[in-house]
Amino acid sequence: MKRAMFKTRQQLILASSSPRRQRFLRNLGIEFTVITADIDETPITGEAPDTFARRMAQAKAGAVARAKPRCWVIGADTVVTLSDGTILGKPANEDEAATMLALLNNTTHRVMTGMCFCCLEQDIETTLVETTEVTFMDVPEQALKAYIQSGEPLDKAGAYGIQGRGSFLVRSINGSCTNVIGLPVNRLVQLLLEHNIIDTPL
């Protein structure tokens, strides 16, 4: 049996139902519970992508922290954005997925994850936005259609998943790969260690 990398010392809550974010923590042996927040995730007209990602992360973490003020809470939100600042959310159907992938094809876009880490009782909050640049190769139209028909794009921001079948779309990335998947794990682990939420069991 493999030994856990980290020992969890304080109660930690992930304010996200994302299986990908949960998997990151479990793979590191970090213990946590999941409590999701029901918030309005509509961008404000003219809102910059990084501002939106930060606001969503704070709203998710804040809603849970108010109910669990003694716990440490992680909130996160990931957006895909074009060079003009347009935010691409999850496509509603295959046609929207096709439109999004056509916009991303053979171009470089940004993936931004807002993350809020807080404990209300200790009056501590750290909020950040991590940005990764992703460049798509020039994908033939038929290959894009086949990917859309696989069903994977329909529950992903920007209509692709770099950790799944959509990995073939990507020529290169500049920045954190885990950030593209939904959580800047390196930044989070640094915060957890700094606040003695986790430590090594050695």
Annotated catalytic residue 77: yes
pLDDT of residue 155: 86
Q: Give 10-residue mean pLDDT values along the chain (202 residues).
A: 82 95 95 94 91 97 97 96 92 96 97 98 97 98 96 93 95 96 96 94 67
Close Cβ partners of 92 (under 8 Å, ≥ 6 residues apart):
none
Nearest one of 63, 104, 105, 74 to 87, comparing CA atoms: 104
pLDDT of residue 1: 60
Nearest one of 86, 96, 114 to 160, comparing CA atoms: 96
Q: Which residue ranges make up each domain of the chain? A: 7-199
Cα–Cα distance for residue pair 90/202, rounded to 1 Å: 42
The CA-atom distances, in angstroms, between 153 and each of 134, 156, 164 are 16, 5, 10
Model pTM score: 0.92
Phi, psi of 68 (to 5 degrees): -130, 70
- The CATH classification number of 7-199 equals 3.90.950.10
Catalytic residue among 77, 84, 95, 199: 77
Residue pair 48/110 in contact by the 8 Å Cβ criterion: no
pLDDT of residue 5: 85
